[in-house]
Amino acid sequence: MRLTRLTAVRRALLVGVLAAVLAAAVAGCGGGSTGGKPAAGSATGSTAVATRGSDGIARITIAANDNYTFVPATVQVSPGPIEVTVRNVGKVPHNLVARGVPGAAVDFLDGGQSATLRFTLAQPGSVPFVCTYHERMGMTGAFVVR
């Protein structure tokens, strides 16, 4: 039915706008912006620092959204253990896999779901992470270890 279809399109657009607003709000709250150096391949590049707690573990929450971006897309962290919470703030399922790091993978998350994983980034350098389902749409990011 035509009317239903239009409503669905409107809803999809609204969800997209909300996701964009939310992404902007998250980026604004992070306070970790380093002056507009977007991550490669990300239209809405954002940077945050994973601060290390008194227990020696760095923590960060990464949102995955319906714009097929991670927020933040770039996570700066010192070498050592890191606990990453991935939250799907949209409706499209996403995962997160850090390349070449054993155990650094969050399986498929449906909209509204989140998962936390802990792994170690021992060596300085850049460790890319992707949503394996949307990597080709630019849904990528990186841990910058230094």
Binding site for Cu ion (CB under 5 A): 94, 131, 133-134, 139
Task: Please say which residue, 60 or 131, places its beta carbon nearer to Cu ion.
Answer: 131
Cβ atoms 68, 137 nearer than 8 A = yes
In the complex, least distance from residue 131 CB atom to Cu ion, rounded to whole angstroms:
3
Q: What residues pair up with 80 in beta bridges, in sequence order?
A: 121
- The least distance separating Cu ion from the CB of residue 133, rounded to whole angstroms, comes to 5
Q: 133 Cβ partners below 8 Å, 6+ apart?
A: 93, 94, 95, 108, 139
CB nearer Cu ion, residue 57 or residue 117: 117
Q: Are 63 and 23 in contact (CB under 8 A)?
A: yes
* Residue 142 CB, nearest approach to Cu ion (Å): 16
